[in-house]
Structure 1
Amino acid sequence: MTAPRKPMRNKGGGKLNQERAKAGVDTPNPGPISGIHSLDPEDGELFEHDPADIGPNPMNQRLGLGNIDELVESVRRQGVHTPGAVMHTDLFMEMYPEWADLVPHPDRTYILGPGHRRREAALQAGKPMLVILRDRWAKERTVEENLISENKDRENLTPIEQALQLDLLRRRGLTGEEIAERAGYSSRGSVTRILNLLALPQEIQDSIHAGSTSAKAGYTLSTIKDEQDSNSSDAAHALQLKAFGWMQDEKITAEAAKNRLKIQTVFPAGNTEPDSSAPVEGASETPRGDGDVSRGKQDQDQGTEQAESSGQQGGTSIPHQTTGESSADGKPAGGTEPEESVEERDRRLAAAESAEQRDLACRLVLSEERYAGAADVTSLLVNAVLNPKEWKEAAVRAHTWLRELGKGPKVERATAYFDAVAADGDANLKRRAAFAIALAANEVRASRTDRDWDERDRAHLKFLIASKVAYQPTEYEQELLGLSSQEAK
């Protein structure tokens, strides 16, 4: 049996005020009141009602009520001070037929809008619930946006719960601008960022909902996409989970994890054949018919570059280091190489792996439109200008990077490529090319294993770490920087 409704004094209007006057509600000790409790409340009226006669709303996207012990105690002592909102259940089901089958208690008089925590606290405390009738929401089909607006302001929804609420409006076909306007968000971009959380794998969503991962980190992970530019496919989820795993295991930021992933996917390890340990741009290279360079000039440049680059270390491969005296052909005296210790081998491999990762990071830096600040560019260019012997090998490496990024003319040889860039009117391309050579000069130098690192090498690594790539130094590099693993992170 439905409990009688207790009218609130001086809160009603229209026919209800008139009926109150007739019934003597506003007079002291009015005696028995007849008929007043049978009157339906008017839309917008504030009144108290038995919470057991109010059903939860299937549109409510709260994933849990959280700890409400303190709220229950407060309601037990003082009652429900902040009203919830209700609609007549039959009206809600009529206006929202698509939700009718999901209403858990269609027989109850009212169904909730906002106020699920307050209703549960009132139930547990054995107190009536303070509510406002909002049938207009159902009639105008604005229940979703009112749920979002009031919950956003009052209930401190988790980012995932906010996203689920906004998704109600998206399911109705509303645009981002319309959702932002109706739900009280500042812009379409804010709505898009929140909704993108629902594209993440469930494991990441659960972590965000629990508060273990921030919404900002979730937004960053949601921008990781597959080759088809989707962030919700199985392939995209695999990449997102990989980045998320790095965040959990190594305590790195989402941005750093995303950039590390970009390094490994955009420029996968092993895709550095042009920078192999063989002479760079040697005689075996076959031109592809660039019309801007004659065959005679090409042969001359090839011979020059081969002569200057032969014997130099290219790419990221690290040559074996030897000790002791060497014969004229570069081999140790006696014709045999000394046996390499396990420690030396491990260090050589660590150096090679680190150099390969830095090489890929350099490419990623160059792929950014704002690849460096003016001070960084100047510093790198000064190093390159003051060390002219490094230019040729650095230019070869830079040419490879820029060609793979699709920057500049389609010229196969480094010398001809940079000649064409210099003659081009594109100032941005010139700056990028000069920066690429300076960056490559530092990387070629840092990747040599026949020398100890100095401040210039460490500055090069620190630049990569501080760049948009947010490069994560390997353990080998952390040792060279004099950092512990925790400090580097």
Structure 2
Amino acid sequence: MPPARRKPKRNKGAGKLNNARHEVGVDTPEPTAGSPSGIHHLEPEDGELFEHPPTDIGPNPMNRRLALRNMDEMIDSVKRQGVHTPGAAMHTELFMEQYPEWADQVLYPERTYILGPGHRRHAAALAAGKPMLLILRDQWAKDRTVEENLISENNDRDDLSPIEQALQLDLLRKRGMTGEQIAERSGYGNRGTVSKFLSLLVLPQEIQTEIHERRMSHSDGYTLATIRDSDKSNDTAAAHELQLQAYGWMRDEGITADAAKSRLKVQATVFPTRNKKIEKPTKPQRDEGGNQQRAADVSHEKHGTNAAEDPIQPDQDGSAAGTDTSIPHQSTGEGDSQERQRQERASGTGVDEREKQTERDQVTAAEEASQRRGLACRLLLAQERYASAPDLSVMLINAVLNQLEWQDAAALAHSWLRELGKGPSTERPSMYFVEVAASEDATLKRRAAFAIALAANELHTTRQDPHWDDRARAHLQFLITNKAVAYEPTEHEQELLGLVSSEAQ
């Protein structure tokens, strides 16, 4: 009597299907699509490895892939060898029962199985006409852990873009999980990593597309996502406008995301309404009889039709300097105003006032430029990389060799570093730098030295204004060319650099 045929062995993840087929007398190494091999006439158990026709397997709506990339090579491999790395699947009916909120988004509810991880392998099996190798994971649906298992499977795959990974993590956030819980469930390390991925989803669609298509790095995208509007929000229309402006500089000028962000900060802090050119007083003109016209009349003719676009600059005491509030050709009740005006012109009083106004305009322009440069210096000091070694050496030499500058430069550098929260909390500048010198923090020492060098050059530049020497020009040129700041010089500074011509005085 022949021995009874042995019951087929179940292979729980071992992948030794050919041996099992041979033992039960079924030898079909290449089963046709649509007809399962002999061993798989039995219903697979949870956790079991099995093959199944890809046409009876549906995609998972939780899969956040936006595209299947590099498929040609995978399809060729599957045609030659079959699917040798298993995907994961659940019974479709069970998935829809456990996830009713996703049921309406299941594309093929009539198919037996629905995928977990393995969408590229499934697409390749369909294209190659080969069976799909799967592990049954019904327990994922029962435990409602499909999202995190999708993420855990995919988070190290190069073919997933940062945006796709962020969309996958967002599934867990929508379930109310905290950053720590998402990191633990998904295998993304820590809350900070999760937060950086999720922040990409607040960016404008144009920037998200750049990141998804890998024309912008994840880190640059995160930097842009930290740009906020005046209300400290990064997902409003106003924030998106700033983010797109920074992206435009990156694209057009080749600067880094950090430099673009710094430029926005300089622009918003010192000039909230963007740079405005300070108009120089117009040279007095003469009429046909050789008499000078009043500067106020010339200014009125030039600006009268566009006063709202070029507001009068207030003087330091808050008043509008250089303006004439009296009505021309009208008596004030204290005598003939026209006669007084003629007397003023004859005595030169009007000319003196115009000269004083010119000086006030120059002082205002110099002060605004100095404030803006000071902010740029602080932004440089906030970076971890300050300047190249040759640049820093030259700057330090200037500071060290000009001993009279040292005390003031140290005081200014101390104020910058304290504002940034760098170094000890000592209030006296001299003691602050003594403590820095005695510390073992090499980075802090280098930052402090750089701060003194910057401060010395800034003080020198401010004192030289408006007659800059080579050192002052080199200081501004350093701020302009440093990619961490990408400083934009004001009209006043451009004139001093010779980049634009001043109007005739």
Instruction: Flag whether TM exceeds 0.5 (same fold).
Output: yes
Q: Which residue of 2 aligns with 1:195?
A: 198
Letter in 2 for 1:314: V
How far off its partner does 1:67 sit?
A: 3.4
Letter in 1 for 2:50: F
**1:119 counterpart = 2:122:** yes
How far off its partner does 1:423 sit?
A: 10
- Write the distance in 2 (CA, Å) between the matches of 1:106 and 1:209: 30
Q: Which residue of 1 aligns with 2:456?
A: 438
> Which of the residues 36, 42, 47 maps onto 1:39?
42
How far off its partner does 1:28 sit?
A: 4.3
CA contact (8 A) 1:217 1:254 kept: yes
CA contact (8 A) 1:12 1:42 kept: no
**1:471 counterpart = 2:468:** no
Change (3 A) 1:387 1:277: farther
Q: Which residue of 2 aligns with 1:159?
A: 162
For residues 102-151 of structure 1, give each alpha carbon's deviation from its aligned partner in whole angstroms, at most 9, with x where no partner exists.
11111110000111111111111111111111111111111111111111
> Which of the residues 362, 374, 382 maps onto 1:362?
374
CA contact (8 A) 1:365 1:468 kept: no
- Write the distance in 2 (CA, Å) between the matches of 1:276 and 1:229: 34
Letter in 1 for 2:474: R
Letter in 2 for 1:454: D
SS of equivalent to 2:232: coil
> Which of the residues 100, 106, 110 maps onto 1:103?
106
Q: In structure 2, list runs of 5 or more residues that go unmatched.
A: 1-7, 29-35, 282-314, 320-358, 421-426, 437-447, 499-505
How far off its partner does 1:364 sit?
A: 4.0
SS of equivalent to 1:246: helix
> Which of the residues 442, 458, 461 maps onto 2:474?
458
Change (3 A) 1:466 1:446: farther
Q: TM-score, normalised by structure 2?
A: 0.63
CA contact (8 A) 2:90 2:141 kept: yes
- Write the distance in 2 (CA, Å) between the matches of 1:267 and 1:383: 32
Q: Aligned-residue CA RMSD in angstroms? A: 5.0
Change (3 A) 1:258 1:383: farther
SS of equivalent to 2:44: coil
Change (3 A) 1:316 1:425: same
- Write the distance in 2 (CA, Å) between the matches of 1:195 and 1:161: 10
Q: TM-score, normalised by structure 1?
A: 0.64
Q: Which residue of 2 aligns with 1:177?
A: 180
Letter in 2 for 1:462: F
How far off its partner does 1:44 sit?
A: 1.3
Letter in 1 for 2:265: K
For residues 401-427 of structure 1, give each alpha carbon's deviation from its aligned partner in whole angstroms, at most 9, with x where no partner exists.
x79x9969xxxxxxxxxxxx8699988
**1:87 counterpart = 2:94:** no
Q: Which residue of 2 aligns with 1:12?
A: 11
Sequence identity percentage: 50
SS of equivalent to 1:131: strand
- Write the distance in 2 (CA, Å) between the matches of 1:203 and 1:228: 23
The range that moved more, 194-203 or 360-369, is: 360-369
- Write the distance in 2 (CA, Å) between the matches of 1:121 and 1:242: 41
After TM superposition, the structure 1 = structure 2 runs for residues 68-467 of structure 1, keeping only pairs within 5 Å, are 68-154=71-157, 156-268=159-271, 314-317=363-366, 359-366=371-378, 370=382, 381-382=399-400, 385-386=403-404, 438-444=456-462, 447-448=465-466, 450-451=467-468, 453-455=469-471, 457-459=473-475, 461-462=477-478, 465-466=481-482
How far off its partner does 1:77 sit?
A: 1.7
CA contact (8 A) 2:369 2:492 kept: no
Change (3 A) 1:157 1:478: farther
- Write the distance in 1 (CA, Å) between the matches of 2:429 and 2:160: 58
How far off its partner does 1:441 sit?
A: 1.6
For residues 340-359 of structure 1, give each alpha carbon's deviation from its aligned partner in whole angstroms, at most 9, with x where no partner exists.
xxxxxxxxxxxxxxx96674
Letter in 1 for 2:139: R
CA contact (8 A) 1:359 1:443 kept: no
Q: Which residue of 1 aligns with 2:339?
A: none
Change (3 A) 1:75 1:114: same
CA contact (8 A) 1:442 1:460 kept: no
Q: In structure 1, list runs of 5 or more residues that go unmatched.
A: 1-8, 287-309, 318-354, 409-420, 483-489
